[in-house]
Structure 1
Amino acid sequence: MYVDVGNALASAANPGVPEDALERLDDRVADAHDRIAAGMDADEFGYAALNLPETADADAIEAAVEPFADSETLLTVGIGGSALGAATLTEAVGGDIDAHVLDNVDPEHVEDLLADVDLSETAVHVVSRSGTTAETLANFLVVREAMAEAGVDWTDRTFVTTGPEGNLRDLADEHDLPALDVPEGVPGRFSALSTVALPAAALAGADVHEILAGGRDGMDALAGSLFDCPAYAYGATAYALDVRGAGVNAMMPYAEGLETFAEWFAQLWAESLGKDGLGQTPARALGATDQHSQLQLYRAGPRDKLVTLVRPRERADRGIPDSDLDGLDYLAGNTLGGLLDAEFEATEASLAESGVPSVRVEIPRLDERALGRLLFDFEAACVLAGELYGVETFTQPAVEWGKDAARGLLRGDEALPEKTELGVGDANDST
């Protein structure tokens, strides 16, 4: 992975980071790296995620999904980190299966999806560390019922990834379902390179060994200086910009296959760093689509944003046919890839011209190895940023409060705090 922070320096942007400030920050990066390395060596909670490229067993994952290799459709039933990694991998490098994620309990969406797939040709991967996640278990119960109604034996079409205890583990034991173990000491949002997400990639025809090899490339690139390590260069620069006023980080990949990667990044960055009144708010965009919407805000709106531009340097391409339409002569002899690269370069230059900080991230191409490296490096960047902020990167107490409150409402044994309401209109009025 290549990271260019030149357009985030104070000489190019406002807010920007002075070069001498980055050099001073590098001493803290060295200390943070030592802490990260020690955590990895001890396989400590959270830090163990950065060992996954070496500890994940690709052969065991491939063996677990082999009974479902004839499936036409994959339903990953999970939420948050139990789903976004799978969605990112299958969208970016999978193509041999129609992959879907049930990560929300919107009843209309669930009904439409189940009506649209052949459940007899569908593999269902249920993912929950605790085995008690309300949204995941609710969706799975609905899927199981739909299979029964369709005359499909759900036990033949289902496998799970879960912890050693809980409802999901009990269910797997009772019905002899194939079961993979969630990695110990790894929060869900850091689990993309594990049994949580890699089974989806394997079923989609991706090379799991190559994905993990890319992660190992990232491990090998970890170093005690942000000037020697792309992941740390990104994490340190994002942190330094945030404390100087760039409290929003707009992730803008220039590849359709990386659109869900931006969602994955948003959870990783928000849930890990949003603590103690600190943290950078992630925003999601897609190049070149959002040049026609969000770029106006980035250039001319509040000076509170870092824009992260991501692209593969190589991609399959298609020529643009010649046209006799007026004003399109500049497209003659060009390709869609060339146009997309021109849009990337123009956006980067546009941001620089207006003094908005941006960071360029490039990978060789969108394949398994590069994707594994990309995921690992952004996880390492997040852990490094957490060390610089001084927050508990691997916890999420604010999320847990909401989960507990929702369970209490469903049980009828808990009321939410009173809220001030100022409503306008009638929700039952269709006009």
Structure 2
Amino acid sequence: MATEISVDIPDVALAAEARPLVEQLAADAVAGKLAAQDATLWGPDAEPEASIRLSWTTLHESSRPLLAEIDALRAELRAEGLDRVVLAGMGGSSLAPEVITASAGVPLVVLDTTDPGQVADALSGDLSRTVLVVSSKSGTTVETDSHRRIFERAFQQNGIDPVTRIIVVTDPGSPMESAAREAGYRKVFTADPHVGGRYSALTAFGLVPAGLAGADIAALLDDAAAAFPELEADADSNPALRLAAALGAAHARGAEKVVFADTGSGIKGFGDWVEQLIAESTGKDGTGLLPVVVEGTDAPGFADAGADATTVAVGPAVEGAQISTTGPLGAQFLLWEFATALVGRLLGINPFDQPDVEAAKKAARALLDGPAGGPAATPTLVDGAIEVHASGSWLSAGVGTVAEALRAFLAAAPEGGYVAVQAYLDRLDDASAAVLRPELARRTGLQTTFGWGPRFLHSTGQYHKGGHQNGVFLQITGDSEQDLEVPDRPYTLAGLQRAQALGDGQVLADRERPVLRLHLTDRAVGLVELVKAVQDLSQGGSR
């Protein structure tokens, strides 16, 4: 029985442009070939990678055996009074579980940060009720490894045997699997290695933490399974073909950004998950689709979307939306995975690699390996509680305030470009920083994204380096009131967070992209001053 999954294209012109692409995709039988895991769909250069990345198309069936294992472990944990689940994971290892649990209304503490304050908050919870899920495909993710070390020590210091409280999700044969089994951790789940991180929502990476937290993960698989017959059909009515064709047609006309708003889907945080899927899959070879996630229905976000953007409602169609998608979460996961893979075919790129993600990691590692995390940065100027650090030649002499630096920075954005706000802060305690996205968008007329560092490095970070090279990058960093040591590592969390910001900024500057880093010497005061400086920008007058 088919589930209710639909794609509407209210924009008449876009629907007309998409129609021949839909017909061609159907005639070429690409949906059926994708469902059958045909690795030739993206050309010979992509085939080696695609051949080991397509198992996600059948996860609604192959993940079924996990359900009983997860249910049994959850029952064991609850019998022992362990009902607080903390997830240490980045990118695909955290975004899907966060969406699943938020939509289900069950608590899950997600650690996808190197901010010492946010990690300290997680540590301050009741450890006597806590289990830690350590989730990493490679087993070498520096953030996740740091969280494991910190929690392991905290358990020990509180008289708790860490091996009884740590659950691992990783790929078979990874360094983490070997280390976890040697350490004797409570449970090791291995996921299908032939699924990339951003396509892993219905693997152990999505299902284990969400299921342990209490979400109905069987329903996710049921909804995906019910949608699958529609998505594999080589027919003009296939919603994945229609969605891929609409996005491909929009990109062909120059709409390289995709503005997402939730319009009553009931799915919480879906934009953050689909952001990684689209940005990492398409943002390469100087092309791609840049997701711009706006707040709620955010009518100005739709109304102000120019010719360089496509507007997508996740939920019922609303005024200004060119595309809308409806359906339950499990079906939406599969719909967008199918459509994104097919957009890769239309754009002529490999949707399964991420060739530019490692650059920022290497730069951060070089800084960490240097003395004291690298040389101290001298600010270009100091204005109140904000230090201004500029990379590139866009900042002229004589600039004396944050507002003036912002005007010069935004003026460096090319026509049709975008602003990426990258906040290396505590996304709970410093949540007010997110207001910078709509404030900048309204005042500049530029599509503006917002990402919490370092989690965006595992998401839009690929597009920033590999996609359309027309972005300008506003980094927000801040002094930490406290710091945390990473056991048996020569750096603290604050040092790691700093190295990640500076490393990514260096990579972007080396690619001749404007980078402005605003460092808050007092986070609370500095954020107020920064928002005021943005609000003082005249509408459209910063460019």
Aligned to 2:55: 48
| Alpha-carbon distance in 2 for matches of 1:62, 1:248 | 41
Aligned to 2:113: 104
Report the CA distance between 1:221 and its aligned residue. 1.5
Distance 1:225 1:9, change over 3 A: farther
Aligned to 1:337: none
| 1:154 counterpart (135, 158, 162) | 162
Report the CA distance between 1:263 and its aligned residue. 0.1
Secondary structure at the residue paired with 1:397?
coil
Contact persistence 1:272–1:395 (CA under 8 A):
yes
Aligned to 2:291: 282
| 1:266 counterpart (275, 278, 291) | 275
How many residues of Structure 1 are paired with residues of Structure 2 in the alignment? 370
Task: State the AA in 2 paired with 1:360.
Answer: S
Report the CA distance between 1:4 and its aligned residue. 4.1
Secondary structure at the residue paired with 2:353?
coil
Report the CA distance between 1:238 and its aligned residue. 1.3
Residue 12 of structure 2 corresponds to residue 9 of structure 1: yes
| Alpha-carbon distance in 1 for matches of 2:21, 2:245 | 11
Contact persistence 2:35–2:58 (CA under 8 A):
no
Report the CA distance between 1:376 and its aligned residue. 1.1
Aligned to 2:311: 307
Distance 1:301 1:380, change over 3 A: closer
Task: State the AA in 1 paired with 2:311.
Answer: V
Report the CA distance between 1:99 and its aligned residue. 0.8
Report the CA distance between 1:149 and its aligned residue. 2.3
Task: State the AA in 1 paired with 2:140.
Answer: T
| Alpha-carbon distance in 2 for matches of 1:65, 1:163 | 21
Aligned to 1:245: 254
User: Aligned runs of 1:128-139 on 2, under 5 Å?
Assistant: 128-139=136-147
Residue 349 of structure 2 corresponds to residue 391 of structure 1: yes
| Alpha-carbon distance in 1 for matches of 2:250, 2:236 | 16
Distance 1:34 1:372, change over 3 A: closer
| Alpha-carbon distance in 2 for matches of 1:142, 1:253 | 36
Aligned to 2:208: 199
Task: State the AA in 2 paired with 1:78.
Answer: G
Report the CA distance between 1:166 and its aligned residue. 4.1
Report the CA distance between 1:155 and its aligned residue. 1.4
Report the CA distance between 1:223 and its aligned residue. 3.8
Secondary structure at the residue paired with 2:37?
helix
Q: Which structure is higher in RCO with an 8 Å CA cutoff and minimum separation 6?
A: 1
Contact persistence 1:126–1:136 (CA under 8 A):
yes
Deviations along 1:169-189, one digit per CA (max 9) or x if unpaired, are 233112222100021211111
Residue 324 of structure 2 corresponds to residue 360 of structure 1: yes
Aligned to 2:35: 37
Contact persistence 1:298–1:305 (CA under 8 A):
no
| Alpha-carbon distance in 1 for matches of 2:252, 2:519 | 41
| Alpha-carbon distance in 2 for matches of 1:220, 1:390 | 26
Task: State the AA in 1 paired with 2:359.
Answer: W
- Structure 2: give runs of 5+ residues left out of the alignment: 41-49, 376-389, 402-517, 527-543
Deviations along 1:393-426, one digit per CA (max 9) or x if unpaired, are 111111122222222322239999x963658669
Contact persistence 1:310–1:362 (CA under 8 A):
yes
User: Aligned runs of 1:374-413 on 2, under 5 Å?
Assistant: 374-412=332-370
Residue 101 of structure 2 corresponds to residue 90 of structure 1: yes
| Alpha-carbon distance in 1 for matches of 2:330, 2:340 | 16
Contact persistence 2:77–2:83 (CA under 8 A):
no
Contact persistence 1:239–1:389 (CA under 8 A):
yes
Aligned to 1:118: 126
Contact persistence 2:35–2:232 (CA under 8 A):
no
User: Aligned runs of 1:320-335 on 2, under 5 Å?
Assistant: none
Contact persistence 1:29–1:384 (CA under 8 A):
no
User: Aligned runs of 1:184-223 on 2, under 5 Å?
Assistant: 184-223=193-232
Task: State the AA in 2 paired with 1:45.
Answer: I
Distance 1:24 1:76, change over 3 A: closer
| Alpha-carbon distance in 2 for matches of 1:25, 1:68 | 49
Deviations along 1:124-143, one digit per CA (max 9) or x if unpaired, are 11001111111110122112
Task: State the AA in 2 paired with 1:222.
Answer: L
Distance 1:64 1:391, change over 3 A: farther
| Alpha-carbon distance in 1 for matches of 2:258, 2:337 | 15
Aligned to 1:27: 24
Contact persistence 2:256–2:290 (CA under 8 A):
yes
Distance 1:362 1:173, change over 3 A: same
Contact persistence 2:267–2:329 (CA under 8 A):
no
Cα RMSD of the aligned pairs, angstroms, is: 2.9
| Alpha-carbon distance in 2 for matches of 1:60, 1:82 | 19
Distance 1:40 1:72, change over 3 A: farther
Secondary structure at the residue paired with 1:196?
helix
Report the CA distance between 1:226 and its aligned residue. 5.8
| Alpha-carbon distance in 2 for matches of 1:154, 1:111 | 18
Residue 89 of structure 2 corresponds to residue 78 of structure 1: yes
Distance 1:76 1:391, change over 3 A: same
Aligned to 1:420: 392
Report the CA distance between 1:301 and its aligned residue. 4.8
| Alpha-carbon distance in 2 for matches of 1:162, 1:228 | 37
| Alpha-carbon distance in 2 for matches of 1:251, 1:47 | 26
| Alpha-carbon distance in 2 for matches of 1:106, 1:228 | 46
Task: State the AA in 2 paired with 1:26.
Answer: E
| Alpha-carbon distance in 2 for matches of 1:428, 1:79 | 25
Contact persistence 1:148–1:154 (CA under 8 A):
yes
- Structure 1: give runs of 5+ residues left out of the alignment: 11-15, 312-343, 352-356, 364-369
Contact persistence 2:284–2:355 (CA under 8 A):
no
